[in-house]
Structure 1
Amino acid sequence: MQSSSPTLIGTAGGTFLSVVPNLHSEDILKTVLLASIGAIVSFALSMALKFFIKKHKK
């Protein structure tokens, strides 16, 4: 099934415009906070695993 570019753009635009009125500032703040916490935890875990792997190889 092929989709044309205007159909894809129209669908994406319609989805975006139907979601925007339902967003509240609290939801956006919560999303930013949770994304930040997730990035920090992911980075810390990656660094810890890298350290332990490097230490184990010696």
Structure 2
Amino acid sequence: MANNDIQLRSGIVGGTFLSTIFNITFNDIVFTIIMAGIGAVVSFFVSCLLRRLFTKK
């Protein structure tokens, strides 16, 4: 029974991986990198702003 469960899980994971890897384009990767960079910069500036607003002097 456990062997059957491992085969099912590996089949699902392998199928999902193979179906997504062929559908990802270079433009999707570049877009993801750019959006992650924008998100990191915005997060940094918001945390700096909140730190200035809520620190006691």
What percent of counterpart residues are identical?
Answer: 42
In the TM superposition, 1:5-16 aligns within 5 A as 5-16=6-17
TM-score where L is the length of structure 1? 0.73
Query: In structure 2, how many angstroms separate the alpha carbons of the residues matched to 1:31 and 1:21?
Result: 17
1:20-54 C-alpha deviation (Å, 9 max, x unpaired): 11111011100110011001101111111011111
Please, which runs of 5 or more residues in structure 1 have no aligned partner?
A: none
TM-score where L is the length of structure 2? 0.74
Computed over aligned residues only, the root mean square deviation of the Cα atoms, in angstroms, reads 1.6
Query: In structure 2, how many angstroms separate the alpha carbons of the residues matched to 1:41 and 1:6?
Result: 43
Please, which runs of 5 or more residues in structure 2 have no aligned partner?
A: none
